[in-house]
Amino acid sequence: MTPRSKRAEVRNPVLGLPAARLLQTMPADTRALIALLLTDLASDARRRSRASWDSRKAFVAAYWATVAVYAGHVARVLRGNGRKSAERKPFRISHKGYPDLMATDWADASHQYCERRDQLGLGASMFPEAMIQIAGMPVGRISYNGRIWMPGPWQPGDEPLFDNRRAETD
């Protein structure tokens, strides 16, 4: 018999919920996309929790820590293996006229796009935007400056999904 602390449903209580079984029946590509986005959400929530704790906002820190834990639990249910692969590159950067690039996350996608732009030296007016896809689904658009936006045309007031200027200062 497996010790209690090693049983999957003890380590991840979400596995004990009926909806968890339904999540596992979704198509693999859909599960991969949602798992990746939940992992990203968990990472952002952990950052907010640390910032709130540093600001002595304990209740807000606890809230964001809880969001991070449950987002991570659901992501693991969707992945089905309990662990994420460190070498996996789920982001496909599709760039018209250039071979696709693979990236591990938003920062890596922005970095690879900017690196290609700088190597070619075409400048902003000549260098096309790129699309980011996960499991064949468009999830972002990289503009000439390396910022990542929601797919579709830019609208006034839009905020980037990933801002490489902020990433450089973190």
Structure tokens at 99: 């071979």
Write the burial class of residue 130 (CB in 10 Å: 0-12 exposed, 13-18 middle, 19+ buried): buried
pLDDT tier at 20, thresholds 50, 70, 90:
confident
Residue 169 has pLDDT above 70, yes or no: no
Residue whose token pair is 């991840």: 12
Q: What is the pTM of this model?
A: 0.67
Domain boundaries, the chain: 7-79, 91-169
Residue whose token pair is 């991070």: 68
Contact predicate 149/161, CB 8 Å: yes
Angle subtended at Cα 133 by Cα 161 and Cα 155, rounded to the nearest 5 degrees: 40
pLDDT digits over 142-155, tens only?
A: 999 999 999 988 88
